Amino acid sequence: MADPLSRVFSALADPTRRDIVARLAVGDATVNELAAPYDVTVQAVSKHLKVLEDAGLVSRSREAQRRPVHLEAEVFDLMTTWIERYRRRAEERYRRLDDVLRSMPDVSAPPPQEGNPS
């Protein structure tokens, strides 16, 4: 079994699943409601939801006859922590590069011309 972060990124690698997550960010929805805009079967959307559920991104509950799908937003904390760590490292490298570039002489200015040959 892959680690949780790998499962999340793998689940989100599919554009349909990313779209489902975006739609669930607005509010809970049933499988039929999620399947409506797609030109695929409800079973196909259910398979996508199973992948998202296995990754911990969504959960299903029962409210009377409805079985809404709910986005588990805390999983995004795992992704954000991982992304933020590398974003900070990249920013530090860019700051060091900026420092080096500031310490270099300005080569964009044209060299002074010595007398006019004409």
Least confident of 11-15, 85-89, 103-107: 103-107
Q: pTM here?
A: 0.71
pLDDT at 114 over 80: no
Q: Is the per-residue pLDDT at 7 higher than 90?
A: yes
Alpha helices in 3-118 (DSSP H): 4-11, 15-26, 31-35, 42-54, 75-103
Confidence band (pLDDT; 50, 70, 90) for 67? Answer: confident
Look up residue 58 and give its amino acid: V
Which is higher by pLDDT, 2 or 89?
A: 89
Q: Is the pLDDT of residue 118 over 60?
A: no
What confidence tens digit (pLDDT) does each residue in 89-100 have? Answer: 999 999 999 888
* 4-71 CATH fold: Arc Repressor Mutant, subunit A (1.10.10)
Distance between CA 80 and CA 108 in Å, rounded? 40
Phi, psi angle pair for 40, to nearest 5°: -135, 170
For the chain, the average pLDDT equals 88
Nearest residue to 18 via CA among 43, 38, 1, 2: 38
